[in-house]
Amino acid sequence: MRVIQFREALREAMSEEMRRDKNVFLMGEEVAEYNGAYKVSQGMLDEFGPERVYDTPIAELGFSGLGVGAAMNGLRPIIEFMTFNFSLVAIDQIINSAAKMYAMSGGAYNVPIVFRGATGNAGQLGATHSSNFENWFANTPGLKVVVPSNPFDAKGLLKASIRDNDPVIFMESELMYGDKGEVPEGEYLLPIGVAEIKRKGKDVTIISFGKMMKVALEAAEELAKDGIEAEVIDLRTVRPIDYATCLESVKKTNRCVVVEEANPIAAISSELTYNIQRNAFDYLDSPVIRVNSMDVPLSYAPTYIEAVIPNVKRTIDAVKQVMYKK
């Protein structure tokens, strides 16, 4: 099977859907003339022209509102944020318009729109460019929230998101755009709301998503050297969450660690921990442990970043704590 970059998988997904459906278009800052801030949309302006690949002003509230209106009138916009930190400027359109329109109109208006872009820490970019908002959007009824961890999942999930009749938040990582992975030539879609077991194991369940899957899988490799076989689950979407897959795994392993880049309060890991301890309590041999970023803004200094965000050592320590707790 061919190997392509994460950014190429996203580009293929958008291009294939734009060829398939004339109502799909891309709008955002630098997506056209500059070929995308991260070169995700490279070549798309040449193929589809300026009527379907739009460069916008630095005005997220404005072009997000245009996208919502277009979706209500039968089009399928893809709105790219250079970073989801900038989506806060547009959050009224996302939360109060896109997410609520179907319910408020009594089902008269679907809003088939995808808001996509980079999320979380991307190196030395400072506090205002390094936040994780997956849990913010996942807290909103009417939205679906997708966070892929590899090129194969990214393509299949983005195609499914574009075809979905509800608004989808599609969150990528700037640090993963150059990642390579196997992606088949033919068309495929992956269902939203279905997790995947990326590594089988019997001793402990590690649940994660997005770029933290790298941490989870590397930790599992190291743990195996000590005779601990971790089962690693990639949520892939955080609204809806595939609780069933997580619970089935925990009932087998009797232990669980959740790894998430976001700050700990009201996080996806908080919801998972509550759900697992409520619905699999009798199967647990120790409490679920969460590995999150520390509860501080992320600064510019690389040593500070390394100390704050989840890493392999902290994940291994958490696993050993749930393994040996009496």
Domain ranges of the chain: 3-182, 196-324
How much is the pLDDT for 325? 66
104 within 8 A of 128, measured Cβ to Cβ: no
How much is the pLDDT for 78? 98
Residue found by looking up tokens 């200094």 in the block: 301
Spatial separation of the C-alpha atoms in residues 272 and 260, rounded to whole Å: 11
β 180-182/3-5 pair status: antiparallel
Domains 3-182 and 196-324 share a fold: yes
Local confidence band at 9 (pLDDT 50, 70, 90 cut-offs):
very high
β 289-291/256-259 pair status: parallel
Annotated catalytic residues are 60, 129
57-72, pLDDT tens digit by residue?
A: 999 999 999 999 999 9
How much is the pLDDT for 128? 87
* Mean pLDDT, range 29-44, rounded to an integer: 96
Whether pLDDT at 113 is above 90: yes
Residue 85 CB neighbours (<10 A): 22
Whether pLDDT at 326 is above 70: no
* Mean pLDDT, range 134-147, rounded to an integer: 97
Q: What contacts 30, CB < 8 A, 6 or more positions away?
A: 36, 37, 55, 82
Residue 62 CB neighbours (<10 A): 14
How much is the pLDDT for 124? 87
- Under CATH, which architecture does the 196-324 domain have? 3-Layer(aba) Sandwich (3.40)
* β-sheet bridge partners, residue 53: 26
191-235, pLDDT tens digit by residue?
A: 999 999 999 999 999 999 999 999 999 999 999 999 999 999 999
Residue 105 CB neighbours (<10 A): 12
β 237-239/144-146 pair status: antiparallel
β 24-28/53-55 pair status: parallel
Whether pLDDT at 130 is above 60: yes
How much is the pLDDT for 114? 98
pTM of the model: 0.96
Q: What contacts 282, CB < 8 A, 6 or more positions away?
A: none
247-282, pLDDT tens digit by residue?
A: 999 999 999 999 999 999 999 999 999 999 999 999
Q: Hey, which CATH number is domain 3-182, 3.90.1660.10, 3.90.550.10, 3.40.50.970, 1.10.240.10?
A: 3.40.50.970
How much is the pLDDT for 120? 92
* Mean pLDDT, range 226-247, rounded to an integer: 98
